[in-house]
Each structure stands twice: as C-alpha cells, then as structure tokens.
Amino acid sequence: MNHLDPQGSQELLCINAEKVYDWVMLQNAINQNVLAASLGLPPGFNPCDPSVTNLITRCYLVDAAGDPLPPNAEIAAVEIGEREDRQFIIHGALVTLQRVTFIKTINVVVEFSGIAGTTPFFGTSVPITIDIPESVFLCAPDGTRLIVRISNVECSNRVNCTAGVLTSVDLSLNICQSVQAVADVTLELTADFCQPRDLLAADQCGSPTIPPQCPVLFPGNDC
C-alpha cells in the first residue's frame, strides 16, 4: 500500500461502501433424488456393477464452472414477486419489514471411487443444479439488493442400484447461509492514510550463501 501522507495527518475522505440494512442466518435441509441419466457419468461407468468393491462416494458444492465452492462463497439468488411490507412490534417499537421471496441456486457434484475387479476407478458427475425457494422478512427497502453466501454445508448421498445397474442417487444437504440486504452508499469520514508495515526479519536480505566444497577431492592437497 502506497504511503500518501508522510506526516500522517488526517484528511476528510469520501469512500464508496456497501451498507448492510439487515443480516440473518438461514438453514435449509434439502433432499433430492437425482436420476442416473442426469449425473452425466461416462458411458459404461457403473459403480453398481457386482464386481465393484470398496465403493466410496462423496458430494460437495461447486460453482457454475464446476470448481469447488470456497468458504463463504456468494451464490446466485433471484427475487421473485414483489416485496411485501409487514409491520412488527420489536422491543416495543413498531417496525416495517419487507417479505422477500427469492430462489437461490446451488450446484452439487457427486464423486465415485472404488475397485472394479482389480482395477481402481474414479468418476465425477456433472454439476447438478438445484433451485431452492426461500422467503424471509428483512429490513429491505427499495434500492437494496440481496447477497446470499454459503457459510457451511454438509452433504451426504446414497447410491441406488437395481439389478446391478445405477438408477439414481439420493442427496441430503444441510446448508447454512448468510442473507444480507445491502445498498451502495458514499461515506464521509476523517481518517489517516495507511502506511506500509515494517519488514519482518525473515523478509530482509541476507548474505550470499556459498555452496559447500569438497577440499579433500578438489583442489586436493597438491594445490
């Protein structure tokens, strides 16, 4: 970070930021049956074959590109319908909140691994898209928008086989998410500019290192 004010005196600054109007944590328990045809597994891939042993499956959330979802990642959320005002008595005061209805979209991947006869195998499904309707009362006046982030997820699955053929997978997800109503604002505040920190001792340059020698072999005692 550049040092803009060597004297460290304060300045009146205007900065753009997101103002959080309301923030709640929601929990969802989702059970979804996914047919084998929707998994997008390679042709001939069959984890239910009678020769398969040590079958291990796991499921996890991914983004739209199929990459594992990082912690606290934002996910797509689309509002449906109009926000509806409703009045509540909170701590003795009359407060108007908005009923916000939206659909959030998650993508789940299922991995299969095991041994077919004596040959190890590994297979991954395509991202499975699941749309989840949601409704919550928030302080969300006109001009605010929703931000939904996944704070924690537990995913388990069960493989369903019929006559040695994969028919479907049952997914069970327990999802905790952060839901915020936010709006862009410009703030005026008096503050100091930041300065770079001092280098740690480990960051400082040391003396050049000379590689170890073999004086007995070279140049030898004759030199």
pTM for the structure as a whole:
0.74
> What per-residue confidence (pLDDT) applies to 65?
82
> What per-residue confidence (pLDDT) applies to 8?
57
Mean pLDDT of 94-109: 94
More confidently predicted of 94 and 222: 94
For the chain, give every domain's residue range. 33-184
> What per-residue confidence (pLDDT) applies to 114?
95
Mean pLDDT of 104-124: 94
> What per-residue confidence (pLDDT) applies to 3?
46
More confidently predicted of 3 and 91: 91
CB atoms within 10 A of CB 26: 15
> What per-residue confidence (pLDDT) applies to 2?
45
> What per-residue confidence (pLDDT) applies to 205?
60
Query: Do residues 47 and 166 touch, judged by C-beta distance below 8 A?
Result: yes
> What per-residue confidence (pLDDT) applies to 7?
54
pLDDT digits (tens, 9 = 90+) for 40-72: 999 889 999 999 999 999 999 999 788 999 988
Average pLDDT value for the chain: 87
3-state helix/strand/coil string of the chain: CCCCCCCCCCEEEEEEEEEEEEEEEEEEEEEEEEEHHHCCCCCCCCCCCCCEEEEEEEEEEECCCCCECCCCCEEEEEECCCCEEEEEEECCEEEEEEEEEEEEEEEEEEEEEEEECCEEEEEECCCEEEEEEEEEEECCCCCCEEEEEEEEEEEEEEEEEECCEEEEEEEEEEEEEEEEEEEEEEEEEEECCCCCCCCCHHHCCCCCCCCCCCCCCCCCCCC
pLDDT digits (tens, 9 = 90+) for 169-204: 999 999 999 999 999 999 998 888 877 767 555 555
By CB atoms closer than 10 A (0-12, 13-18, 19+), residue 72 is exposed
- Residue 205: half-sphere exposure toward Cβ, Cα within 13 Å: 2
